[in-house]
Amino acid sequence: MFVISGGRPLCGVVSASGSKNAALPIMAASLVCSGQLRLSRVPDVVDVHSLRKLLATLGVRSTITADEPGGMTLEATSQKHHVAGYELVRKMRAGICVLGPLLASRGHARVSLPGGCNIGHRPIDLHLRGLSALGADLRVENGYVVAEADRLRGAEVNLAGPHGSTVTGTCNIMTAAALASGRTVITSAACEPEVIDLGHCLNRMGGNISGLGTPVIEIDGVDQLAGATHEVIPDRIETGTLLIAAAITGGDVTVLDARADHLVQTTNLLQHLGVCVQLPSSSGDAHRGTCEIRARANGRIRAAHVVAGPYPGVPTDLQAQLMALLCIAHGSSTVVDRVFPDRFLHAAELMRLGARIHRRGDSAVIDGVARLGGANVMAGDLRASAALVLAGLAAEGHTEIRRIYHLDRGYEQLETKLNGLGARITRTDDTPEPGSPHWRRQRRTASTT
Ligand code: EPU
């Protein structure tokens, strides 16, 4: 759990880590690679390590390399295995990213269905529809997707779902189609930067993919994909979270090594909310497309109507953090999530800190309050944890956030980064040492409830 002593403006400079959601499908693509896949900027987060474990059971040897930040080498040394078991996939939905690569490289795959999730209904019908269009024989059996195909055949695949395209579904189909015979055209493909990054990596391996970043991706299958070197893009969700940390605490934070072009609607929104956002300066790296982004609070946050949607919209993965910010806005705001319409579990926990939020139709309505106050709260998922950390940083007094393991799935050393900007966050065991300040606080809280 985290214990946060809030109410301090965060100021300073911090670097963005590599993107978790780009790194995961790229790591899974090691299954279709005949040589070594050398990556850099892979974030040191629990989901990455869970996927390494899963890939190890599938014959992929991965090594952390110390020569560059986030260095990792992956190599499929055995083609024998094709079962992604429940124990590993249930810990991380992105385990489904191995389905397409396994099928394309080994002709069969048995992958556990990912199961339930706290952010809403998350079916995988579009993944299955896509693989079936490529000629796979698919069935669901005892909680597993069982897929078989001699060699996948290029086809037209439409990935439109009721809430837009699918990010990991597009990754699965694109990677599988890279080794299929003939041409695949994915329509209604996801345009997210993480999908583009995977496409660039596959092209470095010798793939032939065009249309990345548009809803129509064309893939001319090749017989073999070779080893390659690839640097993972910066994490736009972590970057956005750090910029919101500046705004919510009345601070001034510069994020280095970021991609401003991946966050245009988010930085526009922050400006609309009254935050001063300074975009690319010459100190960035033009070749890698990275730059620095500075966010400086400038008086009270303005209320707004926020809609989270597929890229290039405001990301659903920043919706909870933005809701935390709107809790202290002047006036009444609304938030709608078009990707996961019920992703509002964080609202009840934010209310424990004094936020005023209620649901009206598909919107969360947030009546801004002048200040939040510390409280004990519980993290329900990865981005909800981040929202609670942000709210705790802004709140007066102490906030205790339990189940912080959700946060560790996707943020690299978040508390170290925030403490470097002046936050006071302590990571501690949920059961405190008898006699410690945390123990005394917990006893006081217990005696008043
Ligand atoms: N959907 C379907 N059928 C499918 C797949 C998805 O109806 O077969 C629906 C989903 O229920 C949802 C929408 O389509 O309403 C979009 O889901 P998508 O498949 O794009 O989500 P995902 O690929 O499972 C990735 C990220 C999520 C992020 C979403 C949306 C990874 C590993 N995960 O999930 O990230 O919220 O895209 O951008 O890339 C996070 O990092 O906290 C996280 C949840």
Provide CB contacts within 8 A for 167, sequence distance 6+.
21, 190, 192, 194, 195
What is the mean predicted confidence (pLDDT) over 107-125? 86
**Nearest Cα residue to atom 24 of ligand 1:** 168
Atom of ligand 1 nearest to the CA of 310: 38
Ligand 1 atom with the shortest distance to the CA of 383: 42
pLDDT above 90: percentage of residues in the chain: 88
Q: How far apart are CA 90 and CA 106, in angstroms?
A: 23
Q: Does the Cβ of 123 fall within 6 Å of ligand 1?
A: yes
Confidence of residue 449 (pLDDT cuts 50, 70, 90): very low
Mean pLDDT of 379-394: 96
Does residue 339 line the site of ligand 1, with CB under 6 A? yes
331 Cβ below 6 A of ligand 1: no
Q: Going by CA atoms, what residue is nearest to atom 28 of ligand 1?
A: 317
- For residue 21, give the ligand 1 atom closest to its CA: 39
Give the range among 94-98, 115-119, 253-257, 403-407 with minimum mean pLDDT. Answer: 115-119
Q: According to the model, what pLDDT value does residue 340 have?
A: 96
CA of 398 to the centre of ligand 1 (A): 34
For range 166-178, the mean pLDDT: 98
Ranking 80-89, 118-127, 369-378, 386-395 by mean pLDDT, the lowest is 118-127
Q: Region 246-270: what's the mean pLDDT?
A: 97
Q: Give the residue, by CA position, lying nearest to ligand 1 atom 16.
A: 166
Measure 108 CA to ligand 1 centroid, in angstroms. 24
Q: CA-CA distance, 216 to 390, in Å (whole number)?
A: 37
User: 60-65 and 71-76 as β-strands: parallel, antiparallel, unpaired?
Assistant: antiparallel
Q: Could you tell me if the CB of 410 is within 6 A of ligand 1?
A: yes
Per-residue confidence band for 141, with pLDDT thresholds at 50, 70 and 90: very high
Summary mean pLDDT of the chain? 94
**Distance from Cα 167 to the centre of ligand 1, integer Å:** 6
At 407, the pLDDT band (50, 70, 90 cuts) reads: very high
Distance of CA 438 to the CA centre of its chain: 31
Cβ of residue 121 lying under 6 Å from some atom of ligand 1: yes
**Parallel, antiparallel or unpaired: strands 376-378 and 11-15:** unpaired
- Ligand 1 probe mutation, 19, 20, 21, 125, most atoms within 8 A of CB: 21
Residue 252 has pLDDT above 90, yes or no: yes
Query: What is the number of the ligand 1 atom nearest to the C-alpha of 339?
Result: 15
Cβ atoms < 10 Å from Cβ of 232: 26
For residue range 310-320, what is the model confidence (pLDDT) as tens digits? Answer: 999 999 999 99
Residue 280: its pLDDT value, please? 80
Q: Is residue 317 lining ligand 1, measured as CB closer than 6 Å?
A: yes
Residue of minimum CA distance from atom 37 in ligand 1: 167
Closest Cα to atom 33, ligand 1: which residue? Answer: 21
The one-letter amino acid code at 228 reads: A
Residue listed under structure tokens 């893009």: 233
Does residue 163's CB lie within 6 angstroms of at least one atom of ligand 1? yes
Centre of ligand 1 from the C-alpha of residue 335, in Å: 19
Better pLDDT: 286 or 205: 205
Stronger pLDDT, 152 or 444, i.e. the higher one: 152
State the catalytic residues.
117
Whether 195 contacts 169, CB under 8 Å:
no
- Determine the average pLDDT of the residues in 392-401: 98
Q: Which atom of ligand 1 is least distant from the CA of 121?
A: 11
* 448 confidence band (pLDDT: 50, 70, 90): very low
Ligand 1 neighbourhood includes 24 CB (under 6 angstroms): yes
Q: Give residue 186's pLDDT.
A: 98
For residue 14, the surrounding DSSP H or E stretch is strand 11-15
**What is d(CA 352, CA 7) in angstroms, rounded to the nearest whole number?**
16
CA of 414 to the centre of ligand 1 (A): 23
pLDDT bucket at 362, cuts 50 / 70 / 90: very high
What is the rounded distance in angstroms from the CA atom of residue 186 to the CA atom of residue 158?
Answer: 6
- Is there an atom of ligand 1 within 6 Å of 337 CB? no
Which residues are within 8 A (CB) of 303 and not within 5 positions of it... i.e. 6 or more apart? 326, 329, 330, 331, 332, 333, 366, 368
Helix (H, G, I), strand (E, B) or coil at 381: coil
Beta strands in 247-304 (DSSP E): 252-258, 276-278, 291-296
Which ligand 1 atom is nearest residue 97's CA? 32
pLDDT at residue 441 in the model:
66
Mean pLDDT within 385-403: 97
Residue 129 Cβ < 6 Å to ligand 1: no
Mean pLDDT calculated for residue range 187-216: 98
| Distance of alpha carbon 15 from alpha carbon 304, whole angstroms | 29
**Residue pLDDT, tens place only, 281-308:** 655 676 678 999 999 999 999 999 999 9
Burial of 156 (0-12, 13-18, 19+ CB in 10 A): exposed
**Tokens representing 396?**
């007066």
Task: Name residue 356's beta-bridge partners.
Answer: 367
E strands of 142-210, at which residues? 144-148, 156-158, 183-187, 209-210
Task: Provide, rounded to the nearest whole percent, the portion of the chain with pLDDT above 70.
Answer: 95
The predicted structure's pLDDT at residue 122: 87
d(CA 15, CA 221): 37
> Ligand 1: does its nearest atom lie under 6 Å from the Cβ of 169?
yes
